[in-house]
Amino acid sequence: MSSSFAFVPQSCISLARELSHRTALYLPVTMSSSSNLVAMKKIVQQLRFEASINRVKVSQAAADLQQFCMQNAMQDPLLTGVSSSTNPFRPQKVCSFL
Amino acid sequence: MCDQTFMAITFGPCDSCSKASPLMNIYIKSDPINYCSFCMEMMACQALQSGESLATLKSESDSLKKKLEEERAKLHDVELNQVAEKVELVSALSIRTRRVLKGHGNKVLCMDWCKDKRRLVSSSQDGKVIVWDGYTLNKEHAVTMPCTWVMACAYAPSGCAVACGGLDNKCSVYPLSLDKNENLAAKKKSVAMHTNYLSGCSFTNSDMQLLTSSGDGTCALWDVESGQLLQSFHGHTADVLSLNLAPSETGNTFVSGGCDKKANVWDMRSGQNVQSFETHDSDINCVKYYPTGDAFASASDDGTCRLYDLRADREVAVYQKDSIIFGASSVDFSLSGRLLFAGYNDYTINVWDVLKGNRISILFGHENRVSCVKVSPDGTSFASASWDTSLRIWA
């Protein structure tokens, strides 16, 4: 009888991982050329996809990060510090006259 | 035709030729394919274009990798801290421990905030998952999991349920009831099933879907109600230790980091690995998105935290010091993204200036490794969980 899902034992997984670096396949434990070919094809497809994405210059990306920080600096309680009355986690110091 | 021997887990009718024979079970784009070895060879040969062979594919992969490096290097015109030179320094922070949450019997491994900004859930090595009220230090709920080492826990966006899992290879969702007498363990719902330990879990924007990462090297998206696997994400070649969802409401990407030193960004709908970053020298313990979703930070066993920008597709900052030799276990950004809180295995939490790259302060207090650091949803405080069995809330 066959089952649709077979859990591959641990030792097979580590060997399969070496073969399937950066692929979407979990391979059976075999060194036959077909699985190497399929694995390599997947790697090449993934690399082609990654090479084709649009990239922005670091100066532009860094400027945007900085702008966000500056715009929201005032709303950041951990950065600016809040007084005891507004921050629920700071204990309120109660003054009492002796 | 004689092929090499292989370990056949299943025997039965082949999916393509219907002859009963030992089957090879593989997954292509998470669809299971069970072919006999002959049909497997045929399929592999058909998939090749004319003239392709292992050698040509290998050389193409090498040239593509080199091209990727060049493309990324071309855009590296300036460093982040150079751009941020004109920004004024962060003034000294007055952050101290404000609450200490004691109650766990063993190492606290993970924690999460509720959206109401006061409740937290934490999980520990002894199998206990506790829901705390951060203001009053009350323990509102406590669940004992059937397994030890509960490595992941998450609060549902509605605040009505928590998800947790660990060495049991599963992620279970417990609805939180207001009735104190009700046995929470009885209502448990097993949602996710992996073939190795669960390292991270997170609800997506609703209570209905759960994203998990596992030691089996995969991440998966599950429907909570039916327990069905909606999408799986294959690509890591070792244990995945952490995941984080992109912050925007419409966002459908997430980032994962693993023991293969890679941080991968995934598209949740297609299961495609969109971007991949490999600059760490050791396992990545934690990944966290920048508040805008355009960048993310990672913490690694090599003692450094790094900032990767998604639009520039490269690492833009490294937060390290020669004096830091212990691994960083967890990171989180403050609300404006200016501060990076990182918990380390040397029992301290370092606060880094994200833009300038320098360390602003060190926070002492824990008596063992810091395992998890999370900023509260409104940014007024952050909580840290540690192997010294306590959690601390800092503000």
pLDDT, tens digit (0-9, with 9 covering 90-100), for B344-395: 999 999 999 999 999 999 999 999 999 999 999 999 999 999 999 999 999 9
Query: What gap in Å lies between CA B131 and CA B142, rounded to an integer?
Result: 6
- Please, what is the angle between helix B54-74 and helix A33-51, to 10°? 20
Q: Which of A6, A62, A78 sits opposite B25 (nearest CB)?
A: A6
Q: How far A27 CA lies from chain B's nearest CA (Å)?
A: 5
Instruction: Find the helix or strand (DSSP H, E) in which A42 lies.
Output: helix A33-51
Q: What are phi and psi of B374, to 5 degrees?
A: -140, 135
Residues B249-269 have a mean pLDDT of 91
Measured CA to CA, the distance from residue B42 to residue A32 in angstroms comes to 12
* Inter-chain CB proximity A40 and B395 less than 8 Å: no
Weakest mean pLDDT among B42-51, B78-87, B150-159, B369-378? B42-51
Task: Locate B58 and state its tokens.
Answer: 């290998």
In the prediction, which pLDDT does B32 show?
79
Higher model confidence: residue B38 or residue B217? B217
Search chain A and give the residue with CA nearest B135: A89
Interface pTM (ipTM) of the complex?
0.78
Picking from A43, A46, A79, A90 by the largest number of B CB atoms within 10 A of its own CB, the best residue to mutate is: A79
Of A16-20, B73-77, B273-277, which gets the smallest average pLDDT?
Answer: A16-20
Chain position carrying tokens 């497809």: A45
Q: Over the stretch B88-140, which tens digit does the pLDDT of each residue have? A: 888 888 899 999 999 999 999 999 999 999 999 999 999 999 999 999 999 99
Lowest mean pLDDT among B24-33, B129-138, B297-306, B375-384: B24-33
Surface-to-core class of residue B134, CB atoms within 10 Å of its CB (0-12 exposed, 13-18 middle, 19+ buried): buried
Backbone angles phi, psi at B362, to 5 degrees: -115, 135
Between B103 and A92, whose confidence is greater? Answer: B103
What span, in angstroms and rounded, lies between the C-alpha atoms of A36 and B135? 57
Mean pLDDT across the stretch B234-256?
Answer: 90
Six token digits for residue B55: 């050698």
* Closest CB from B25, B80, B313 relative to A53: B313
A43–B contact, CB cutoff 8 A: yes
Strand order in the sheet with B218-223: B198-203, B209-214, B218-223, B229-234
Residue B363, SS3 per DSSP: strand
Q: What is the mean pLDDT of residues B167-187?
A: 83
How high is the pLDDT of residue A44? 83
Q: Do A49 and B272 touch (CB under 8 A)?
A: yes
Q: Is the pLDDT of residue B250 over 60?
A: yes
Nearest residue, CB atoms, B78 vs list A22, A49, A62: A62
**Is residue B271 left, alpha or beta, with left meaning phi > 0 and alpha meaning psi from -120 to 50?**
left
Report d(CA B241, CA B255) in Å as an integer: 11
Q: Which residues pair with B288 in a beta bridge?
A: B297
SS3 B33: strand
- Classify B161 as helix, strand or coil: strand
Gap between the Cα atoms of B395 and B374, Å rounded: 12
Task: Check residues B349 and B13 and name the one with the higher pLDDT.
Answer: B349
Phi, psi of B226 (to 5 degrees): -100, -15
Other CB atoms within 10 A of residue B159 CB? 14
Q: What chain B residue is nearest to A88 in terms of C-alpha separation? A: B135
The DSSP output letter for B61 is H
> Which is nearest to B264 in space by CA: B290, B240, B283, B285?
B240
A15 confidence band (pLDDT: 50, 70, 90): very low
User: How far, in Å, CA of B92 to CA of B97, rounded?
Assistant: 16
What are the tokens at A22?
């950066």
> Quick one: DSSP state of residue B337?
S
Q: Is some CB atom of chain B closer than 8 A to the CB atom of A67?
A: no
Q: Which amino acid is at B215?
A: G
| Separation CA B149–CA B106 (nearest Å) | 10
Q: What is the DSSP string of B206-239?
A: STTEEEEEETTSEEEEEETTT--EEEEEE--SS-
Chains A, B: CB contacts within 8 A come to: 251
Residue numbers in B near A46 (CB within 8 A): 235, 273
Q: Confidence class of residue B282 from pLDDT cuts 50, 70 and 90? A: very high
- Residue B375 has a CB neighbour count (10 Å cut-off) of 23
Q: Is the pLDDT of residue B13 over 70?
A: yes
β-partners of residue B22 are B11
